[in-house]
Amino acid sequence: MAQPLTRDSFSLRSDRLGLADFLIINAVAGAPDGYSKNIALLRTGGGSTIAPLFDLATGLAYESEDVDRRMALSMGSKRQISRVFRKQWDRAAVVLGIDSDVLISRVTGVA
């Protein structure tokens, strides 16, 4: 039987989508510095949530020979964005606990 939706379940879904957005934006922006240390919690009187992105810098503006284009966090065991395909996004969706089609829709929207 499905669990009843509570404020906590909405918050958890929102946080999972926030983590997905962190991964998507770093991948699309070519930001190799998207380490987990760049994820923060925003604490309020009502609880905690994933904070907006910060410390985001692209490597796309630099010559590719001079820049390590690997992502800090792997996606479906791939760290080179040129090797990330639908299969890797699907694996990321499983890890994040969100529907794969929802993640792909967000990737498409950002890209």
Model confidence at 14: pLDDT above 50: yes
Residue 90, in any domain of the structure:
yes
Structural domain contains residue 17: yes
Q: Is residue 2 in a domain?
A: no
Question: Mean pLDDT score of the chain, rounded to an integer?
Answer: 81
Distance set, CA 110 to CA 2, 5, 9, 53, 65 (Å): 31, 28, 25, 14, 26
Q: What is the pLDDT of residues 43-66, one digit of tens each?
A: 878 777 777 777 777 777 777 676
- Residue 47 located in a structural domain: yes
In a domain, 1, yes or no: no
Q: Please identify which residue in the block is written with the tokens 């090797």.
A: 83
Query: Is the pLDDT higher at 12 or at 99?
Result: 99
Per cent of the chain over pLDDT 90 is: 23
Residue pair 83/91 in contact by the 8 Å Cβ criterion: no
Counting the structural domains of the chain, the total is 1
Domain ranges, residue 22: 7-59+68-110
Contact between residue 58 and residue 68 where contact means Cβ atoms under 8 Å apart = no
Q: Are 31 and 56 in contact (CB under 8 A)?
A: yes
* Contact present, 26 and 34 (Cβ < 8 Å): yes
CA-closest candidate to residue 96, choices 41, 39, 23, 32: 23
